[in-house]
Amino acid sequence: MLQTLRKGAASWVAKLFLGLLVISFAVWGIGDTFRGFGQNHLATVGATEISIESFRQLYNQRLQNLSRQLGRPVAPDQARAFGLDRQMLGEMVAEAALDESASRLGLGISDDELIRRIHDNPAFRGTNGQFDRSQFEQLLRANGFSESSFIASERKLAKRQQIARAVGDTAEPPQALVSLVGIYQNETRKVEFVALGRAAAGDIAAPSDDVLRSYFEERKAAFRAPEYRKIAVLPVTVDTLAPWIEIKDDDIRAYYDTHRDAFGSPERRTLQQIVFPTAEDAKDAADKIAAGASFEDIAAARDLKPADIDLGAVSRAGILDPVVAEAAFSLAEGAASPPIAGRFGHVLVRVLKIEPEQSRPFDQIADQIRRQLATDRAKRDLLDRHDKVEDERAAGQTLAEVGAKLALPIETIEAVDRSGRDPDGAQVPAFPGKDELLPAAFKSDIRVENDPVQLGLNGFVWYEVLGVTKARERTFEEARNQVLARWQEEQVAEKVTAKADALVNRLKAGDQLAALVQADGLSVSTAEVRRTTTKELPEAAVAAAFATAPGSAVAAPGEDATSRLAIRVVDSQVPAPGKTADKVKTDLARAIEDDLLGQYLARLEGELGVSVNQRALDQITGRDSGS
């Protein structure tokens, strides 16, 4: 399921589907599973077929989410290295298998419970912490759902969770395991340490040219000049198009009037609601209210508590059923409605309090709306611009000619290596698709027409290799500054390491750390470290501290290649089991539940039979393109 809409689920099951279900995919292996079949299907699970298009849509969306999390585009080969393709396929196969199992078992969920789940999902709550229909609809649109398709997917998810809980919800980790894991996770070690940096190396005498030449000759390959390429880049993205799109003032005003609730606080009403199984029951209750009975009397007669009928203060958009919302927001304060034939039953509604809407002034947000409308229009224009660029390229135009004809900005990178650096060693300025484009450009050649790099839904980047400067060996004179810098760094590292080792030997002999470093003007720091949550020391230093007996000392790497730490382990503390056992037990139980569900799925998928269209999978994930 789509990650944004699963984020708010409270149970461990929702998190499980984002990663661990792929374990079951690994269980049934690759060799006998992949075989060709119908071109429209990526996989079959029993009688269920997973379409190529549904997988492509989910894969592309997860790829975009990963790119946003990393703050840079993720190339297809990088996504495969992360295992994204196998994770997505494993997830969809597992879901299909659970759906078939749920159908066989006759599982279901009531409409009332489904509404409660949706209302309780934090992803759909507004600023007041309550269900917000505008937020609900916005998230559905952003993730390609209609309301009906989302409700259908929620029904499926609820049934899958019923199976998952039945399989693993009673897992109980052995007490011995809880104790051992608790000790490992929560043992703390008090350490004192001193950080030795470049200053600890003292003065490094300047080397002679003969020394540097000898150093250079022994490591000549490390100083080679890499291959550089001159590249023309033509981006057509939302960010490059939006600033040039003109938005009329009337359109901005119309958008503001239509979406006024999004720019302030909409009208809210404190409501009570009673749901009846039949229209006759609702009419009978309404007649009693008209005759003088209170809303609370009707609720009490149906064994409903005040909390059962209280909807709280909600906006019109916060009511899932639009028919009920229309009726509730047409009533005067204190009034009760006639029977309403709602989507999920027959209801009566009473208004306890009305809070008028409050909106931000148009002038304060006009520029924000202008940018938003320009961005939306740029997204709609992307495919049209894409087609125009492709038409010009098909006519034999170079990228420079295409950019000039279509008034699109084109950038030329004069020289860049595979790592994105120029001949001076500096990173070339960022441009759209840089991290994806450079590997592709170094697989291309001069004047070869290349497919554009697609940046998810954000656009396309065309590129053209204009020149190639082959890799070569630098002369000593060219590389002298680099050779000197590297030689000096190695000398510093050797001296710092020797000094740290000498301190550790003195500490092991019984000397005090503070006394040893006082003459050098160094300060001694202390810290309590854990294996898993320590930030005071580098990871390698923490590992060294836990590998060293209390009272002894060890040297460890510092923050960079030339620094070292001299560490004395003062003592070790293991907390009483009661303080951490509950959390450790919960975490282990969750892990066992996940393992049990993975085994259940492997068995279920084996019984149902799973087939995967390897060729279609390769095409979607870019393996066929050689990336």
Q: Using the structure block, give the residue that is written with the tokens 């291309």.
A: 444
- Strand partners of residue 50: 43
177 Cβ partners below 8 Å, 6+ apart? 588
- Strand partners of residue 611: 44
273 has a pLDDT exceeding 80: yes
Predicted confidence at residue 580, as pLDDT, reads 65
The domain total for the chain is: 4
Chain centroid, CA 490 distance in Å: 39
Residues 507 and 614 in one domain: no
Out of 39-53, 72-86, 271-285, least confident range: 72-86
Q: What is the DSSP letter of 242?
A: G
Residues 367 and 451 in one domain: yes
178 has a pLDDT exceeding 50: yes
CA distance 233 to 403: 10
Residues 59 and 129 in one domain: yes
Residues 96 and 196 in one domain: no
Q: Look at residue 217 and tell me if it is in a domain.
A: no
Predicted confidence at residue 461, as pLDDT, reads 93
Predicted confidence at residue 2, as pLDDT, reads 33
Q: Look at residue 352 and tell me if it is in a domain.
A: yes
CATH number of the domain to which 519 belongs: 3.10.50
Q: Look at residue 261 and tell me if it is in a domain.
A: no
Mean pLDDT of the chain: 84
Q: Per the structure block, which two tokens stand in for 335? A: 């009034």
Measuring CA to CA, how many Å separate 170 from each of 95, 102, 427, 590?
Answer: 22, 20, 54, 10
Residues 12 and 50 in one domain: yes
Predicted confidence at residue 139, as pLDDT, reads 81
Residues 404 and 548 in one domain: no
**Helix residue ranges, H only, 395-512:** 399-406, 434-441, 476-508
351 has a pLDDT exceeding 90: yes
- Phi first, then psi, for residue 30 (nearest 5°) are -115, -45
| 171 vs 567, higher pLDDT | 567
Q: Look at residue 21 and tell me if it is in a domain.
A: yes
Share of the chain above pLDDT 90, in %: 37
70 Cβ partners below 8 Å, 6+ apart? none
Predicted confidence at residue 171, as pLDDT, reads 77
> Over the stretch 579-603, which tens digit does the pLDDT of each residue have?
667 788 888 888 888 888 889 888 9
Residue 21's pLDDT band (boundaries 50, 70, 90)?
very low
> Over the stretch 180-238, which tens digit does the pLDDT of each residue have?
888 888 889 999 999 999 988 888 999 999 999 999 999 999 999 999 999 999 999 98
28 has a pLDDT exceeding 80: no
Residues 11 and 81 in one domain: yes
- Strand partners of residue 454: 460
Most confident among 115-129, 417-431, 582-596 (mean pLDDT)? 417-431
Q: pTM of the full predicted structure?
A: 0.52
Share of the chain above pLDDT 70, in %: 91
Domain termination site, one of 438, 469, 500:
469
CA distance 391 to 384: 11
Sign of the CA dihedral 394, 399, 401, 405? Answer: positive
Residues 389 and 244 in one domain: yes
Do 36 and 615 contact (CB within 8 A), yes or no? Answer: yes
Q: What is the dihedral of CA 409, 414, 419, 422, to 10 degrees?
A: -130
Q: What is the DSSP letter of 355?
A: E
Q: Look at residue 578 and tell me if it is in a domain.
A: no
CA distance 1 to 91: 8
Do 271 and 349 contact (CB within 8 A), yes or no? Answer: yes
Residues 122 and 25 in one domain: yes
Mean pLDDT of 596-613: 88
Do 617 and 42 contact (CB within 8 A), yes or no? Answer: yes
Residue 241's domain spans which residues?
A: 228-248+363-469
CATH number of the domain to which 23 belongs: 1.10.4030.10
Q: What is the dihedral of CA 313, 318, 319, 321, to 10 degrees?
A: 180
Residues 104 and 55 in one domain: yes
Residue 55's pLDDT band (boundaries 50, 70, 90)?
confident
Residues 280 and 378 in one domain: no
CA distance 426 to 404: 30
**Helix residue ranges, H only, 71-206:** 76-82, 84-105, 111-120, 133-142, 147-168, 175-186
Domain termination site, one of 328, 356, 384:
356
Do 295 and 347 contact (CB within 8 A), yes or no? Answer: no
Q: Look at residue 76 and tell me if it is in a domain.
A: yes
> Over the stretch 470-528, which tens digit does the pLDDT of each residue have?
999 999 999 999 999 999 999 999 999 999 999 999 999 999 998 888 878 888 999 99
Predicted confidence at residue 624, as pLDDT, reads 56
Mean pLDDT of 90-105: 89
Q: Look at residue 256 and tell me if it is in a domain.
A: no
CA distance 128 to 6: 21
- Phi first, then psi, for residue 557 (nearest 5°) are -65, 150
Q: Look at residue 426 and tell me if it is in a domain.
A: yes
- Strand partners of residue 276: 346
Residues 60 and 79 in one domain: yes
Most confident among 410-414, 448-452, 619-623 (mean pLDDT)? 410-414
CATH number of the domain to which 340 belongs: 3.10.50.40
Measuring CA to CA, how many Å separate 508 from each of 438, 494, 540?
Answer: 52, 21, 20
